[in-house]
Amino acid sequence: MHIIFRLGGLNPFKQAEKHVFPYLKDHRCKIWAGASLVFLNCNPKDLQALCSAPHLLEKGKQYQIYESWLCQGIFTSRVEKWTKGRKMLMPAFSYGMLKQFVDVFNRQTQVLLSRLRIMASTGESVDFFKYSSSFTLDTICETAMGVSVGAQSVQKSEYFEAVKAILQIYDRRLRNPIYHLHFIYKLSPLCRREGQIIKKLHRFSERIIKERREQLNKEQANQIISSAATEDIDGRRNLTFIDILLNAKTEEGQPLLDKEIREEVDTIIVAGFDLTATTLKFFIFEMCKHPEIQELCREEIWQVCGKDPKEPITIEQVRQLEYVDMCLKETLRLYPSGCVVSRRATANFHLNDLYIPANSEVVFSPLYMGRCADFFPEPLKFMPSRWSPDAEHKIQASTYIPFLTGVRSCIGQRYAMIKMKLVIAHCLKNFQFSPVDDWDAEKELAFVITLKTLTPFYYILPSFGNFLSECKRHTIAFWMGLHLVILTDEPEFVESVMTSNDMLNRAICISKPGRDIFQGGLLVCEAEAWHAQRKSINAAFQHKVLLTFFPIFNRIASSAEEQLAQLVDKGPQTLSQMLKSTIISGSLETTMGLKPNNTKMEQEAKTYISSLEFMQHKLPFLALLTFLNLYGLSYFYEKFQVAKKFLWQFTEDIMLSQLNQTFVPNIQVSDVGNAAKPSSDDEFMAIRKPPEIFIKQALELYKQQKLSWQNVVSNANGLIVASYETSSTAVLSTLIMLAMHPSVQDRLYEEVCQVFERTSEDVEFAHLEQLPYLDMVVNETLRLIPPIPVLGRQAINDAKLSNGLILPSGLQVIISIYHIHRRKDIWGPDAGKFDPNNFLPEHDRKRHLYSFMPFSKGPRNCIGWRYAMFSLKIIVARFIRKYRFSTKYCFEDIKFSTNSALCFLEEPPLEISFR
């Protein structure tokens, strides 16, 4: 009978021979992926030693993708667990067990043949991968778990569909570099779908394990298992991998947990299903391309196994199929199931002429080695004769590694080879396979090399620190996506960058989401626009202007005091939301002239805060997507745009509410970035003029045509966000530091009591000048918890810095303020501890000017830094003179999350009591 073969299911690779292989000199190369060192080594003289090196047994990090299903099974587990797991699994792959499995292979193959006969009778083309995959799943499940999942049945098998679906998800994730970033993948619908499927797969395995355990207990399976590998097992119930594992013991003599058994069984299933089915597909593919070779295989099969279509094939007959074995080896040479394998070094070590540092990765490619002309003449030609007894000994050791080599080679390679040869023998004995007329015999192959999985962004600060420490430098350069980036925590280099007129642009990788929000303004605009706007707005932040805000700061602090009074002796409390809602009203009043006790505005301010917090939480993800030119990809992008529009509309409405009623009808509120403009100088004269607030001066600048209406709105938005975010974060951080360090709090209280006669007295500028220890406490808090932990600059042109270094146009510099503030060579051996004495004058003078920069430095520093410091000190001074703060939370337990500003991953709760 004839089967018309349709080549389906091929991976659309991208010609690795063109894009990767040319860079291998002496069959190896070194690659920097970010701050990670990767060795691609396909040199046979190194390979055997590398695969057996004791410091190179750990799997590469990309294998973590499979841990959601396989957890810590033998395929993904760490070395210590792998060593124990492999030892326990070895009996399951003994010759006695494999001989027993042949019965299952024959039985399931007959089901496959029946299905193929139906297709052959119709003359329709066959996607062989579809049939081989269902066959391999049924066989692997029956040999692993003792049950057939019905993958080959007419009706759909729920388990089969789940396995196919999860493997398709893993395939999509491996192909898509953006999905290698775990935190981005977590946001995708694909991740949620993965979680649903894995629950289904785990439930199935757990049910089978439970049933099998009960069955084995009744049959006293221990006696059967002990003889399975050495005695004739005819007449006994077939054993499975589960049986072996259920009777296995740990080194402590304890039985394995069901979860541990499930991990190993699931691992065996995924390896035995997908990889075997793929190899069978390519084998039939080559048989279709080479009918003369197919005929030679068939003649050997008929000679060894006979022509009876239903006669079982024995393991002894399988071992006699020498030419089929040669063809299968040639298939595995051209199409290895694992085309790339990686290992991670657990320690520094030397090997031959190589030095492999700890945490670097070594990548092997069986695909490269099998297709390299240095190892195999005419490498792309399918030539089974390479593997004849006369020729095979000429093949260089370690150039053919479809199942890898060394200590951590594939444990199931004999199982796979026996099963594949048996099903091939049955298929070729019964059918002739031919290609469809319009097929493309030159189907392109490709693969994805995963070099490194990046750390989730809320751990980006430790990651920056790891980059710098691993490279043993304070300034490093690396490629991130399409962007050349310099990362630094070196004050001297930072000064040269921050003071350069060619480095005044914000780094696009950090600022692009902010530009989308603010549509211009001082926070995000480019250097040329920033120069003009900064000059115009500077007057709004003069010292005399800021002094007029003191009554507002005191009123805000008084309001917060009243709310704190309600929390006294009520146990641990988190204060962030209370501080945010209180401080936002001060920001709105000093920026926009909005008076408190406006019920409608207060409600809208709550929505403003929630919208702002949503955007702040998502900004880091959007910033990282910007690195990869995928800005706008995420599912939350539309919601982000809605929140942004509300912020813009909220600010614009407040500005319009300050105008004369006769002026309002002439303005139409527009979409973001297209705000309508007042049209009459006379109408500007009717604007209410609250003293010294930003809106007053901004609208005057608009009248003088020094600022556009969009710039007025965008700067107002930016100032509200910056003043609110910085003040609320800094106040909360200072209170937490004081609660964790009661001796510091007591000393500060003594200083405050010496300055103020009454607890109800307003704080004036003259008072702040008498509070040097408060200044030290605040500075130390800002050192350890800078509101903006990372900032970036981008070269406008080729920038020659003061140190003589030339940075090419477009290069971005990321400055880790967080790590500058914690460098032990600058701040001493206790740099990570809270100590206000770091800011004693005698210590302060010794440090580089740019070693402390909580509000940035240089020409483009924060315009409102004095505003932030005044409001922060007033609130803290008033709180401390009336309340005592305490907490059971330890400083060492603090973990940070990076949104648009540094914040606590878990906010330490504080207990409040009256003085």
551-572 per-position pLDDT tens digit: 989 999 999 999 999 999 999 9
Can you give the pLDDT at residue 238?
61
Range of the domain at 505: 459-914
Can you give the pLDDT at residue 836?
95
Mark whether 111 and 148 lie in a shared domain: yes
Mark whether 531 and 674 lie in a shared domain: yes
Count Cβ neighbours within 10 Å for each residue of 52-91 and write b for 16 or more, e otherwise.
Answer: ebebbbbbbbbbebbebbbbbbbbbbebeebeebeebbeb
C-alpha–C-alpha distance, residues 590 and 549, integer Å = 7
Can you give the pLDDT at residue 601?
60
Three-state SS string across 379-398, please? CCCCCHHHHCHHHHCCCCCC
Mark whether 363 and 469 lie in a shared domain: no
What is the tens place of the pLDDT at every residue in 419-459? 999 999 999 998 888 876 555 444 433 222 211 222 223 33
C-alpha–C-alpha distance, residues 660 and 683, integer Å = 7
The residue among 435, 450, 477 that closes a domain is 435
- The answer to the question of residue 371 being in a domain is yes
Can you give the pLDDT at residue 412?
85
- The answer to the question of residue 389 being in a domain is yes
φ/ψ of residue 517, rounded to 5: -75, -55
- The answer to the question of residue 907 being in a domain is yes
Can you give the pLDDT at residue 763?
93
Mark whether 426 and 469 lie in a shared domain: no
Residue 34 identity (one-letter amino acid): G
Can you give the pLDDT at residue 472?
63
- The answer to the question of residue 146 being in a domain is yes
Mark whether 393 and 467 lie in a shared domain: no
The pTM score is: 0.52
Mark whether 83 and 115 lie in a shared domain: yes
> For the chain, how many structural domains are there in total?
2
Mark whether 493 and 423 lie in a shared domain: no
- The answer to the question of residue 65 being in a domain is yes
Question: How far from 183 is each of 178, 188, 191, 459, CA to CA, in Å?
Answer: 10, 9, 10, 10
Question: How far from 807 is each of 512, 771, 812, 913, CA to CA, in Å?
Answer: 21, 43, 9, 55
C-alpha–C-alpha distance, residues 240 and 698, integer Å = 79
Can you give the pLDDT at residue 258?
87
Q: Return the structure tokens found at 472.
A: 């043993």
Mark whether 586 and 626 lie in a shared domain: yes
C-alpha–C-alpha distance, residues 612 and 615, integer Å = 5
The three-point CA angle 555-559-562 to 5° equals: 140
Can you give the pLDDT at residue 596?
64
CATH number at residue 81: 1.10.630.10
All residue ranges of the chain with pLDDT < 70 are 1-23, 33-35, 154-155, 177, 219-238, 436-472, 480-483, 513, 596-602, 605, 616-637, 657-692, 898-901
- The answer to the question of residue 704 being in a domain is yes
DSSP state of 675: -
Mark whether 550 and 673 lie in a shared domain: yes
- The answer to the question of residue 448 being in a domain is no
Mark whether 510 and 420 lie in a shared domain: no
The residue among 419, 435, 451 that closes a domain is 435
- The answer to the question of residue 316 being in a domain is yes
Can you give the pLDDT at residue 394?
84
Can you give the pLDDT at residue 669?
38
Mark whether 261 and 188 lie in a shared domain: yes
Question: How far from 843 is each of 472, 826, 853, CA to CA, in Å?
Answer: 27, 10, 16
Tell me: is residue 862 an annotated ligand-binding position. yes
In the beta sheet, which residues pair with residue 363? Answer: 40, 342
The residue among 435, 469, 486 that closes a domain is 435
Mark whether 473 and 366 lie in a shared domain: no
Exposure on the CB side of residue 156, measured as CA atoms within 13 A: 5
